[in-house]
Amino acid sequence: MNIVPLPLKEITEAHLQLMLCADPSRKLINSYLKRACCFQLLEAKQLVGIVALLPTRPETIEIVNLAVLGSYQNQGYGQRLLNFALDFARQQNYLSVEIGTGSTSFQQLALYQKYGFRMTSIDQDYFVRHYETPIFENQLELKDMVRLQLIL
């Protein structure tokens, strides 16, 4: 698999639909899209993944969206996007990368920690406050956001 993420100049409905898999709020996605650096991953011209990176503070960038099309999950595409995001951050001279994910997102939490991300905080009831309908993941109601950071 020698495909690399490509910069996105225009966000299409297909990109938004994929991003909604990682963040089910179109309103929140739209709030960061204009300021984020977005990259798409294509396999035989098929959109299979996307990552959005947002500079948040001097020397810090946040992965605000990382999504892989369902039929391509568990095949290394998410790791490819994560590796790309970390390489991008290093090349742009960021010193830390942050990411937030759901407290019930067990697979994502394991992946980020394998890459060296450390938990820094929990935003209690984040998903209750910011999403109109309850989100269920792994048979649990998602309420809290776990914030993680990797020092490069």
Domains of the chain: 6-151 (3.40.630.30)
Give the model confidence (pLDDT) of 123-136 as tens digits.
Answer: 999 999 999 899 99
pLDDT (0 to 100) of residue 3: 74
Contact 144, 123 (CB under 8 A): yes
Contact 63, 53 (CB under 8 A): yes
Give the model confidence (pLDDT) of 100-152 as tens digits.
Answer: 999 999 999 999 999 999 999 999 999 999 998 999 999 999 999 999 999 99
pLDDT (0 to 100) of residue 146: 97
pLDDT (0 to 100) of residue 4: 80
Our separate counts of H helices and E strands in the chain read 5, 9
Closest CA to 86 of 119, 68, 58, 63: 63
Q: How confident is the model at residue 15 (pLDDT cuts 50, 70, 90)?
A: very high
d(CA 80, CA 75): 10
Give the model confidence (pLDDT) of 32-63 as tens digits.
Answer: 998 999 999 999 889 999 999 999 999 999 99
Q: How confident is the model at residue 96 (pLDDT cuts 50, 70, 90)?
A: very high
pLDDT (0 to 100) of residue 1: 54
Q: What percent of the chain has pLDDT above 70?
A: 99
The reported pTM is 0.92
Give phi and psi for 14, each to the nearest 5: -60, -40
Q: How confident is the model at residue 2 (pLDDT cuts 50, 70, 90)?
A: low
For the cut 70, the answer to whether the pLDDT of residue 21 exceeds it is: yes
